[in-house]
Amino acid sequence: MSSTFGGCSALVSGGAGGLGGATARRLAELGFAVVVFEPDSARVENFAREIGGNAVGVAGDHTDEAAICRAIEAAQERGRFCVNVNAAGVAIDAPATATAEGVPHDMQVFRDMVELHLFGPFNVSRLSAAAFAANEPDEDGQRGLIINTASTAAWDGQARQAAYSASKAGIAGMTTAMARDLAEIGVRANSIAPGPIWTPRLAGAPDAIKNALIANVAFPKRFGNAEEYASLVEAMLRTPFLNGQTIRLDGAMSTPLTSFAR
Protein backbone atom coordinates (compact mmCIF):
# COMPACT_ATOMS: atom_id res chain seq x y z
CA MET A 1 0.00 0.00 0.00
CA SER A 2 1.36 3.38 -0.94
CA SER A 3 2.98 5.54 1.73
CA THR A 4 0.71 8.40 0.62
CA PHE A 5 -3.00 7.90 1.02
CA GLY A 6 -4.65 10.77 -0.85
CA GLY A 7 -7.48 9.45 -2.98
CA CYS A 8 -8.02 6.47 -0.65
CA SER A 9 -10.98 5.83 1.60
CA ALA A 10 -11.51 3.80 4.78
CA LEU A 11 -14.42 2.38 6.71
CA VAL A 12 -14.12 2.42 10.52
CA SER A 13 -16.72 0.42 12.40
CA GLY A 14 -17.19 1.83 15.88
CA GLY A 15 -15.65 4.92 14.34
CA ALA A 16 -17.05 7.44 16.83
CA GLY A 17 -15.91 5.49 19.91
CA GLY A 18 -12.62 5.50 21.79
CA LEU A 19 -10.39 3.28 19.67
CA GLY A 20 -12.38 3.79 16.49
CA GLY A 21 -12.57 7.54 16.96
CA ALA A 22 -8.80 7.91 17.39
CA THR A 23 -8.31 5.71 14.33
CA ALA A 24 -10.77 7.70 12.21
CA ARG A 25 -8.94 10.92 13.14
CA ARG A 26 -5.53 9.43 12.30
CA LEU A 27 -6.70 8.10 8.95
CA ALA A 28 -8.19 11.49 8.09
CA GLU A 29 -4.87 13.15 8.99
CA LEU A 30 -3.12 10.71 6.64
CA GLY A 31 -5.37 11.81 3.78
CA PHE A 32 -8.06 9.13 3.80
CA ALA A 33 -11.71 9.90 3.21
CA VAL A 34 -13.19 8.23 6.31
CA VAL A 35 -16.60 6.61 6.69
CA VAL A 36 -17.57 6.56 10.36
CA PHE A 37 -19.93 3.63 10.92
CA GLU A 38 -22.00 3.23 14.11
CA PRO A 39 -25.66 2.69 15.03
CA ASP A 40 -26.35 6.20 16.41
CA SER A 41 -27.00 8.52 13.45
CA ALA A 42 -26.57 11.77 15.39
CA ARG A 43 -23.32 10.57 16.92
CA VAL A 44 -21.73 9.50 13.62
CA GLU A 45 -22.81 12.65 11.81
CA ASN A 46 -21.48 14.91 14.58
CA PHE A 47 -18.19 13.04 14.77
CA ALA A 48 -17.70 13.08 11.00
CA ARG A 49 -18.23 16.85 11.01
CA GLU A 50 -15.72 17.15 13.84
CA ILE A 51 -13.09 15.24 11.86
CA GLY A 52 -13.76 17.40 8.83
CA GLY A 53 -12.24 16.87 5.42
CA ASN A 54 -13.99 14.20 3.40
CA ALA A 55 -15.33 12.26 6.41
CA VAL A 56 -18.94 11.10 6.45
CA GLY A 57 -21.09 9.34 9.01
CA VAL A 58 -23.18 6.31 8.08
CA ALA A 59 -25.55 4.93 10.71
CA GLY A 60 -25.92 1.18 10.98
CA ASP A 61 -25.16 -1.98 12.89
CA HIS A 62 -22.30 -4.25 11.85
CA THR A 63 -24.55 -7.29 12.02
CA ASP A 64 -26.76 -5.72 9.30
CA GLU A 65 -25.47 -6.54 5.80
CA ALA A 66 -27.54 -3.85 4.09
CA ALA A 67 -26.20 -1.16 6.45
CA ILE A 68 -22.61 -2.30 5.89
CA CYS A 69 -23.13 -2.20 2.13
CA ARG A 70 -24.37 1.39 2.44
CA ALA A 71 -21.20 2.29 4.35
CA ILE A 72 -19.01 0.56 1.74
CA GLU A 73 -20.78 2.39 -1.08
CA ALA A 74 -20.18 5.69 0.73
CA ALA A 75 -16.48 4.82 0.99
CA GLN A 76 -16.28 3.86 -2.70
CA GLU A 77 -17.88 7.16 -3.68
CA ARG A 78 -15.12 9.05 -1.84
CA GLY A 79 -12.02 7.28 -3.08
CA ARG A 80 -10.23 3.98 -3.55
CA PHE A 81 -11.78 1.99 -0.72
CA CYS A 82 -8.89 -0.06 0.64
CA VAL A 83 -8.93 0.00 4.47
CA ASN A 84 -11.39 -1.42 6.98
CA VAL A 85 -10.83 -1.11 10.74
CA ASN A 86 -13.35 -2.77 13.08
CA ALA A 87 -13.30 -1.35 16.60
CA ALA A 88 -16.91 -1.52 17.79
CA GLY A 89 -17.61 -2.86 21.28
CA VAL A 90 -19.68 -2.44 24.41
CA ALA A 91 -19.30 -2.91 28.16
CA ILE A 92 -18.14 -6.42 29.06
CA ASP A 93 -20.20 -7.13 32.19
CA ALA A 94 -21.65 -10.65 32.04
CA PRO A 95 -22.82 -13.29 34.49
CA ALA A 96 -20.62 -16.03 35.86
CA THR A 97 -20.71 -19.37 34.04
CA ALA A 98 -22.69 -20.60 37.06
CA THR A 99 -23.27 -19.15 40.52
CA ALA A 100 -23.01 -20.72 43.95
CA GLU A 101 -26.82 -20.68 43.97
CA GLY A 102 -26.87 -22.88 40.88
CA VAL A 103 -27.89 -20.21 38.35
CA PRO A 104 -26.32 -20.84 34.92
CA HIS A 105 -25.02 -18.18 32.55
CA ASP A 106 -27.80 -16.70 30.41
CA MET A 107 -27.30 -18.11 26.90
CA GLN A 108 -28.86 -15.06 25.26
CA VAL A 109 -26.22 -12.85 26.89
CA PHE A 110 -23.56 -15.21 25.50
CA ARG A 111 -25.08 -15.13 22.02
CA ASP A 112 -25.40 -11.34 22.07
CA MET A 113 -21.78 -10.89 23.14
CA VAL A 114 -20.45 -13.22 20.42
CA GLU A 115 -22.75 -11.62 17.83
CA LEU A 116 -21.43 -8.18 18.66
CA HIS A 117 -17.72 -8.87 19.11
CA LEU A 118 -17.11 -11.71 16.62
CA PHE A 119 -19.91 -12.09 14.08
CA GLY A 120 -20.15 -8.33 13.51
CA PRO A 121 -16.44 -7.74 12.77
CA PHE A 122 -16.33 -10.77 10.48
CA ASN A 123 -19.40 -9.51 8.65
CA VAL A 124 -17.77 -6.14 7.91
CA SER A 125 -14.46 -7.86 7.06
CA ARG A 126 -15.94 -10.24 4.50
CA LEU A 127 -17.96 -7.55 2.74
CA SER A 128 -15.04 -5.11 2.71
CA ALA A 129 -12.69 -7.77 1.34
CA ALA A 130 -15.14 -8.55 -1.45
CA ALA A 131 -15.19 -4.85 -2.34
CA PHE A 132 -11.37 -4.63 -2.23
CA ALA A 133 -11.13 -7.42 -4.82
CA ALA A 134 -12.13 -4.96 -7.55
CA ASN A 135 -9.26 -2.56 -6.74
CA GLU A 136 -6.23 -2.21 -8.96
CA PRO A 137 -3.25 -3.67 -7.06
CA ASP A 138 -0.34 -1.48 -5.95
CA GLU A 139 3.34 -2.26 -6.55
CA ASP A 140 3.20 -5.01 -3.91
CA GLY A 141 0.02 -6.49 -5.36
CA GLN A 142 -2.04 -5.10 -2.47
CA ARG A 143 -5.70 -4.25 -2.85
CA GLY A 144 -6.65 -3.63 0.77
CA LEU A 145 -6.11 -4.06 4.50
CA ILE A 146 -8.47 -5.29 7.22
CA ILE A 147 -7.71 -4.67 10.91
CA ASN A 148 -9.89 -6.22 13.60
CA THR A 149 -9.82 -5.64 17.34
CA ALA A 150 -9.11 -8.59 19.61
CA SER A 151 -8.14 -8.19 23.29
CA THR A 152 -5.71 -9.58 25.81
CA ALA A 153 -8.84 -11.34 27.11
CA ALA A 154 -8.42 -13.71 24.16
CA TRP A 155 -5.64 -15.38 26.18
CA ASP A 156 -6.14 -14.08 29.72
CA GLY A 157 -9.87 -13.92 30.28
CA GLN A 158 -11.02 -12.70 33.66
CA ALA A 159 -13.88 -13.80 35.87
CA ARG A 160 -17.24 -13.01 34.24
CA GLN A 161 -15.61 -12.68 30.82
CA ALA A 162 -16.38 -16.10 29.34
CA ALA A 163 -18.50 -14.70 26.51
CA TYR A 164 -16.23 -11.72 25.83
CA SER A 165 -13.08 -13.85 25.93
CA ALA A 166 -14.62 -16.40 23.57
CA SER A 167 -15.43 -13.59 21.12
CA LYS A 168 -11.96 -12.06 21.25
CA ALA A 169 -10.26 -15.44 21.00
CA GLY A 170 -12.34 -15.92 17.86
CA ILE A 171 -10.97 -12.66 16.40
CA ALA A 172 -7.38 -13.74 17.11
CA GLY A 173 -8.07 -17.25 15.82
CA MET A 174 -9.50 -16.16 12.49
CA THR A 175 -6.83 -13.56 11.68
CA THR A 176 -4.16 -15.78 10.10
CA ALA A 177 -6.79 -17.91 8.37
CA MET A 178 -8.38 -14.80 6.93
CA ALA A 179 -5.01 -13.48 5.74
CA ARG A 180 -4.30 -16.76 3.97
CA ASP A 181 -7.79 -16.81 2.44
CA LEU A 182 -7.36 -13.30 1.09
CA ALA A 183 -3.75 -13.60 -0.11
CA GLU A 184 -4.86 -14.54 -3.61
CA ILE A 185 -6.66 -11.22 -4.01
CA GLY A 186 -3.92 -9.15 -2.37
CA VAL A 187 -5.78 -8.26 0.84
CA ARG A 188 -3.99 -8.31 4.19
CA ALA A 189 -5.64 -9.04 7.55
CA ASN A 190 -4.25 -8.22 11.00
CA SER A 191 -5.65 -7.72 14.48
CA ILE A 192 -4.74 -5.57 17.48
CA ALA A 193 -5.24 -7.01 20.97
CA PRO A 194 -5.40 -4.08 23.40
CA GLY A 195 -4.89 -4.40 27.11
CA PRO A 196 -6.16 -1.59 29.35
CA ILE A 197 -6.69 1.39 27.03
CA TRP A 198 -8.22 4.57 28.43
CA THR A 199 -11.56 4.91 26.65
CA PRO A 200 -14.97 6.14 27.81
CA ARG A 201 -15.86 2.52 28.59
CA LEU A 202 -12.87 2.10 30.92
CA ALA A 203 -13.44 5.54 32.44
CA GLY A 204 -16.81 4.28 33.67
CA ALA A 205 -15.37 1.20 35.38
CA PRO A 206 -15.12 0.97 39.18
CA ASP A 207 -11.90 2.30 40.72
CA ALA A 208 -11.05 -1.16 42.08
CA ILE A 209 -10.87 -2.54 38.54
CA LYS A 210 -8.86 0.44 37.26
CA ASN A 211 -6.34 0.11 40.09
CA ALA A 212 -5.99 -3.64 39.54
CA LEU A 213 -5.38 -3.15 35.82
CA ILE A 214 -2.69 -0.50 36.36
CA ALA A 215 -0.99 -2.71 38.94
CA ASN A 216 -0.67 -5.46 36.33
CA VAL A 217 0.97 -3.29 33.64
CA ALA A 218 4.74 -3.73 33.54
CA PHE A 219 5.78 -0.57 31.67
CA PRO A 220 4.93 2.19 31.04
CA LYS A 221 3.00 2.15 34.33
CA ARG A 222 -0.22 3.66 33.04
CA PHE A 223 -3.19 2.95 30.86
CA GLY A 224 -2.62 2.92 27.15
CA ASN A 225 -4.39 5.53 25.10
CA ALA A 226 -6.48 5.34 21.97
CA GLU A 227 -3.91 7.31 19.97
CA GLU A 228 -1.44 4.47 20.52
CA TYR A 229 -3.96 2.06 19.00
CA ALA A 230 -4.29 4.45 16.04
CA SER A 231 -0.49 4.59 15.71
CA LEU A 232 -0.39 0.81 15.45
CA VAL A 233 -3.07 0.95 12.74
CA GLU A 234 -0.83 3.39 10.85
CA ALA A 235 2.20 1.10 11.31
CA MET A 236 0.21 -1.80 9.86
CA LEU A 237 -0.73 0.39 6.90
CA ARG A 238 2.90 1.25 6.25
CA THR A 239 4.30 -2.28 6.67
CA PRO A 240 3.11 -4.52 3.82
CA PHE A 241 4.99 -7.59 5.08
CA LEU A 242 2.98 -7.50 8.32
CA ASN A 243 0.12 -9.88 7.62
CA GLY A 244 -1.92 -12.47 9.48
CA GLN A 245 -0.76 -11.23 12.88
CA THR A 246 -2.47 -10.34 16.15
CA ILE A 247 -0.34 -7.85 18.09
CA ARG A 248 -0.81 -7.23 21.80
CA LEU A 249 -0.87 -3.58 22.87
CA ASP A 250 -0.68 -3.91 26.65
CA GLY A 251 2.54 -2.61 28.24
CA ALA A 252 3.72 -6.22 28.87
CA MET A 253 0.75 -6.71 31.16
CA SER A 254 0.53 -9.71 33.46
CA THR A 255 -2.93 -10.93 34.32
CA PRO A 256 -3.65 -12.25 37.80
CA LEU A 257 -7.31 -12.83 38.60
CA THR A 258 -9.41 -9.66 38.44
CA SER A 259 -13.18 -9.98 38.70
CA PHE A 260 -15.17 -7.78 36.34
CA ALA A 261 -18.23 -7.99 38.57
CA ARG A 262 -19.34 -4.47 39.46
For residue 164, which amino acid is it?
Answer: Y
CB count, 10 Å around CB of 237?
26
Confidence of residue 262 (pLDDT cuts 50, 70, 90): low
Say which CATH number the domain at 137 has. Answer: 3.40.50.720
Query: DSSP class of residue 238?
Result: T
pLDDT at position 165 is 95
CA distances from 140 to 3, 134, 156, 241 (A): 12, 16, 36, 10
**pLDDT tens, position by position, 146-194:** 999 999 999 998 888 899 999 999 999 999 999 999 999 999 999 999 9
pLDDT, mean over the chain = 93
For residue 69, tell me if it sits in a domain.
yes
Report the alpha-carbon distance of residue 175 to residue 208 in Å, rounded.
Answer: 33
Instruction: Domain count for the chain, please give it.
Output: 1
Give the 3-state secondary structure of residue 122: helix
**pLDDT tens, position by position, 76-97:** 999 999 999 999 987 667 889 9
Phi and psi torsions of 13, nearest 5°: -80, 135
For residue 84, tell me if it sits in a domain.
yes
For residue 128, tell me if it sits in a domain.
yes
Confidence of residue 243 (pLDDT cuts 50, 70, 90): very high
For residue 218, tell me if it sits in a domain.
no
Statement: residue 3 has pLDDT above 70: no
pLDDT at position 94 is 82
For the segment 206-223, the average pLDDT, to the nearest whole number, is: 90
For residue 86, tell me if it sits in a domain.
yes
Active-site positions? 164
pLDDT at position 89 is 84
Euclidean distance between the first and the last CA atom of the chain, given in angstroms as a whole number: 44
For residue 257, tell me if it sits in a domain.
no
Determine the structural domain holding residue 166 and report its residue range: 8-195+225-249
For the segment 126-139, the average pLDDT, to the nearest whole number, is: 97
For residue 209, tell me if it sits in a domain.
no
For residue 205, tell me if it sits in a domain.
no
pLDDT at position 90 is 78
